[in-house]
């Protein structure tokens, strides 16, 4: 199925970031790239705690205090996801976000982007909060959205190869001279030989998925740092299956603990019920308890691209590759990881950015 004159692209990682990059590359320029996704965890591995994407809410709701590049990605992603509402994969989500500190909320950068933005009156915020805003954003269900992305990519000729890669050099050898490697390995970037980015760290999130059809709003209080004991309180209704809501949660930087903690689960349920009393009703059913690790990075996400000489340093070739002498030439290495709590709401913007970087670097070298 390879297109003979197209550039080989090896995308490491099949979380929302790797998948969305593949989608943008194959949509913008259908004949320009042969895209292979090489990953340990695949979109259908919805019970794997070894990657973050299955465990997200997932809604679009920026935290305060992030940089310009991130705002640009979030803006592009909001517009794209809002336009996807008619597909049923994404739904409009009425939201109220409360804060434990007062601030000029009229200055929130996204107030003109989301729909129906309004600063709440003092009488509209619950005990313990000082201010709050309400607006309409979007949510999606990763358990539906990730398999949809994979189906889209299969129909565009993208190949999926299940493999744990040990080094960036190994991936570069798969791409070959003149090819492109995209590192979208999330927390994997911490240990991938040749990247070994020690600024990458987990933020543990424990959640409960419930059937609670009467909960129709995203409510959050407070989400962002610093948090008391790593506790955040939020609920995210999902478009499908109907009535499913994700209750959160925790936000625990540095914790790799994948086990479910029952006192924490009870606390989540109690805090969410205080904000949405309908949860105490008889129709509420607990569907699952979950823990996922958000792939964060000190200083924010890394998005860049650079030409490197083959073979890369510290290449650890697999035995079958050792049969051939390493190829010479150059490979374009792009990175897209470290999106922490916001990978879904950055996904389309980040993917457009990576696709533009690749296009630019390939043109310059031609
Ligand atoms: P991942 O999904 O972790 O994927 C990494 C990929 O790389 C996987 O395929 C993995 O197998 C592969 N990989 C890694 N190392 C190797 C290797 N050596 N060889 C081969 N493959 C490798 N975000 C939002 O935008 N909105 C939300 O509401 C939201 N809520 C969240 C709630 C919780 C509880 C959690 C845990 C996260 C939430 N997030 C949310 C964050 C979001 O889930 C992540 O930012 C996003 O999933 C990161 O995607 P990714 O593709 O970068 O990484």
Tell which residue, 318, 341, 330, has the closest CA to residue 74.
Answer: 341
Predicted pLDDT at 322: 55
Whether 14 is in the pocket of ligand 1, judged by its Cβ within 6 Å, is yes
| DSSP secondary structure letter of residue 58 | -
User: What is the tens place of the pLDDT at every residue in 113-129?
Assistant: 999 999 999 999 988 88
pLDDT tens, residue order, the chain (366 aa): 577 789 999 999 999 999 999 999 999 998 999 999 999 999 999 999 999 999 999 999 988 766 899 999 999 999 999 999 999 999 999 999 998 887 788 889 999 999 999 999 999 998 888 899 999 999 999 999 999 999 999 999 999 999 999 999 999 989 999 999 999 999 999 999 999 999 999 999 999 999 999 999 999 987 554 566 788 899 999 999 999 999 999 999 999 999 999 999 999 999 999 999 999 999 999 999 999 999 999 999 999 999 999 888 766 655 555 556 667 899 999 999 999 999 999 999 999 999 999 999 999 776
In the reported structure, the alpha carbon of residue 324 is separated from the centroid of ligand 1 by a whole-number distance in angstroms of 34
Residue with tokens 């340990």: 40
| DSSP secondary structure letter of residue 326 | P
Whether 12 is in the pocket of ligand 1, judged by its Cβ within 6 Å, is yes
CA distance 3 to 22: 16
Predicted pLDDT at 103: 77
In the reported structure, the alpha carbon of residue 186 is separated from the centroid of ligand 1 by a whole-number distance in angstroms of 6
**pTM of the full structure:** 0.96
The complex scores an ipTM of 1.00
In the reported structure, the alpha carbon of residue 194 is separated from the centroid of ligand 1 by a whole-number distance in angstroms of 20
In the reported structure, the alpha carbon of residue 243 is separated from the centroid of ligand 1 by a whole-number distance in angstroms of 24
CA distances from 330 to 30, 184, 225, 322 (A): 23, 20, 42, 19
Reported CATH class of domain 7-51+143-199+298-365: alpha beta
- Nearest C-alpha to atom 42 of ligand 1 is from which residue? 343
Helix, strand, or coil here: 342?
A: helix
In the reported structure, the alpha carbon of residue 274 is separated from the centroid of ligand 1 by a whole-number distance in angstroms of 30
Alpha helices in the chain (DSSP H): 16-28, 68-83, 142-155, 168-175, 262-275, 319-322, 343-365
Whether 53 is in the pocket of ligand 1, judged by its Cβ within 6 Å, is yes
Tokens at 121, concatenated: 């009156």
39, 91, 110, 181: which to mutate for ligand 1, most atoms within 8 A of CB? 39
Q: How far apart are the first and last CA of the chain?
A: 24
DSSP 266-319: HHHHHHHHHH-GGGGSTT-EEEEEEEEEEEEETTS-EEEEEEEEESPTT----H
Give 71's contacts (C-beta < 8 A, 6+ positions apart): 62, 109, 110
CATH 3.40.50.720 boundaries in the chain? 7-51+143-199+298-365
49, 56, 167, 353: which to mutate for ligand 1, most atoms within 8 A of CB? 56
Mode of pairing for the β-strands spanning 159-162 and 200-211: unpaired
CATH 3.30.9.10 boundaries in the chain? 91-138+202-296
Mode of pairing for the β-strands spanning 329-337 and 180-183: parallel
In the reported structure, the alpha carbon of residue 90 is separated from the centroid of ligand 1 by a whole-number distance in angstroms of 19
22, 41, 236: which to mutate for ligand 1, most atoms within 8 A of CB? 41
CA distances from 55 to 1, 18, 83, 99, 212 (A): 33, 16, 24, 24, 18
Query: What is the CATH code for 91-138+202-296?
Result: 3.30.9.10
In the reported structure, the alpha carbon of residue 35 is separated from the centroid of ligand 1 by a whole-number distance in angstroms of 20
Predicted pLDDT at 359: 97
The helix (run of H) or strand (run of E) holding residue 139 is strand 131-140
Whether 145 is in the pocket of ligand 1, judged by its Cβ within 6 Å, is no
């Amino acid at each position: 199925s390879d297109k003979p004159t197209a550039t080989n692209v090896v995308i490491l990682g099949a979380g929302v970031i790797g998948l969305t990059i593949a989608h943008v590359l194959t949509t913008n320029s259908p004949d320009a790239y042969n895209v292979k996704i090489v990953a340990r965890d695949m979109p259908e591995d919805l019970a794997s705690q070894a990657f973050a994407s299955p465990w997200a809410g997932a809604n679009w709701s920026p935290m305060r205090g992030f940089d310009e590049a991130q705002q640009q990605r979030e803006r592009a992603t909001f517009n794209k996801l809002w336009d996807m509402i008619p597909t049923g994969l994404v739904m409009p989500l009425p939201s109220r976000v409360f804060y434990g500190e007062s601030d000029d909320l009229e200055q929130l950068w996204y107030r003109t982007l989301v729909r129906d933005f309004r600063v709440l009156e003092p009488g509209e915020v619950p005990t313990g909060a000082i201010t709050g805003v309400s607006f309409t954003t979007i949510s999606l269900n990763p358990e539906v959205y990730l398999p949809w992305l994979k189906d889209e990519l299969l129909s565009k000729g993208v190949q999926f190869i299940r493999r744990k890669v040990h080094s960036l050099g190994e991936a570069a050898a798969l791409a070959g001279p003149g090819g492109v490697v995209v590192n979208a390995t999330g927390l994997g970037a911490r240990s991938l030989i040749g990247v070994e980015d020690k600024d990458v760290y987990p933020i543990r999130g424990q959640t409960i998925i419930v059937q609670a059809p009467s909960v129709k709003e995203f409510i959050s209080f407070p989400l962002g740092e610093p948090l008391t004991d790593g506790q955040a309180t939020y609920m995210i209704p999902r478009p499908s299956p109907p009535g499913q809501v994700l209750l959160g949660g925790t936000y625990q930087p540095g914790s790799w603990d994948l086990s479910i903690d029952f006192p924490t689960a009870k606390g989540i349920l109690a805090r969410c019920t205080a904000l949405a009393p309908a949860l105490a009703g008889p129709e509420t059913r607990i569907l699952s308890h979950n823990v996922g690790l958000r792939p964060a990075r000190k200083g924010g996400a890394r998005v860049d691209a650079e030409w490197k000489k083959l073979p890369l340093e510290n290449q650890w070739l697999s035995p079958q590759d050792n049969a051939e002498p390493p190829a010479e030439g150059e490979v374009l290495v792009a990175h897209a990881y470290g999106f922490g709590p916001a990978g879904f709401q950055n996904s389309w913007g980040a993917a457009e950015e990576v696709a533009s970087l690749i296009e630019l670097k390939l043109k310059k070298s031609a």
